[in-house]
Amino acid sequence: MEMAKIGATSRGGSNRQALSDEDAAGRALFLEWAHAAGCQSEVDEIGNLFVRRLGRDDSLPPVLVGSHLDTQPTGGRFDGVYGVLGGLEVIESLNDSDTETEAPIELAVWTNEEGARFQYSMMGSAVWSGKLSLGAARSLVDVDGISVGQELDRLGWAGKRSAVPRPYVATFELHIEQGPILEAEELEVGVVTGVQGFRWYTINLHGSPAHAGPTPMDGRSDPARAIAGIVSNVYAMAADFAPWSRATFAQFASEPTSPNTVPERLTCSLDLRHPEASTLDEMEARFREIVNSECGGLGVQSEIIVDNNSPPVAFDRTCIEAVQVSVDELGYSNQRMVSGAGHDACYVASECPTSMIFVPCEGGLSHNEAESITAAQAARGASVLLGAVRKMAKV
């Protein structure tokens, strides 16, 4: 709640967009707490912040925890923040009980997870894992033309540590679920086994403009009619792959924008998701067939552009098991699940053994100022994280 005072919004949420003064103030407060807990801190070239609790053998690969402190413009108080402060709570709990771990513990605060101000989600962990070059990340600009590089330099976040992976024995990201499943099932904890893959497409349809009055319905090459068939058939196709499939159409635009002219061009976006790559392939193939058949009969030309292809992520079995054992020892009700949203853990998982822990959030709401969890829910997730860290860092 202290952190949520920084960038507080009128409706009870948080606005600490990446690399803003509010983001910096949030980090400063976090660092004050981390230093008070006896941790050392270091910043890498893309501004990822790492704090470290020494291990008995400090040369061992650490256990990494953490998440992000930046928020959406009308974000909630827990998305990301919970994983960072839950990690700090683990360190403070170990301090309180005078517990040494064999391996050190590192807590990461990744830069620009949200991709709201600078539109590249999970930017800091993308650079760290080699998915995005440092130069490309520094060149990203916000709507005012201010670049990531300028802001990193202004805030003093362009650190000396190289933004490259280091060996970690295990990494865990604690996060709110951001969906309704745990609450609906009345479960206390989600043991996360992976993250859904997603693909973003732009659908461009090209027909023939015509007068809305004199032109008979049968004689039109109408891209609006084609998209109507595409949308309803893709929804039906997604239902065939339930319950984990997702299909989302958005960003509709037509040209010319006249109410009494059949549009010549129509464009929209489609986001397809599924936890299994082979199923996602099948969904894409069916989607392409649907576009061809709906457009063919109408004389509408179509083009499908793949804008983004984020493959599904399967987390590490040992890390998943460490979380499961911790949950079972604590006796919390739980289920295994996949994450519908992307997280820094997706990129981290490509380099190190990784898994995630979810707690339910009220009404499944997230990216929303009303985002909420109870103190008891927060404590359960942090306790599970503590158990998993103790196991992997070896007490």
- Residue 279, H or E segment: helix 277-296
Nearer to Zn ion, 75 or 104 (CB): 75
Nearer to Zn ion, 67 or 383 (CB): 67
Q: Which residues bind Zn ion (CB under 5 A)?
A: 79-80
**Measured CA distances, 83 to 55, 79, 91, 152, 177 (Å):** 21, 8, 13, 23, 11
CB of 139 to Zn ion, least distance (A): 24
Question: How many Å apart are CA 39 and CA 236, to the nearest integer?
Answer: 53
CB of 99 to Zn ion, least distance (A): 28
Taking each helix axis from N to C end, the angle separating 223-240 and 277-296, rounded to the nearest 10 degrees, works out to 150
CB of 27 to Zn ion, least distance (A): 16
CB of 330 to Zn ion, least distance (A): 24
Q: List the beta bridge partners of residue 201.
A: 270, 306
**Antiparallel, parallel or unpaired: β 40-43 and 354-359:** unpaired
Q: List the beta bridge partners of residue 273.
A: 198, 246
Question: Cα 285 from chain centroid?
Answer: 26
| DSSP letter, residue 118 | S
Nearer to Zn ion, 66 or 207 (CB): 66
Give the nearest residue (CB) to Zn ion: 80
Nearer to Zn ion, 61 or 340 (CB): 340
CB of 343 to Zn ion, least distance (A): 6
CB of 78 to Zn ion, least distance (A): 9
Question: How many Å apart are CA 14 and CA 369, to the nearest integer?
Answer: 7
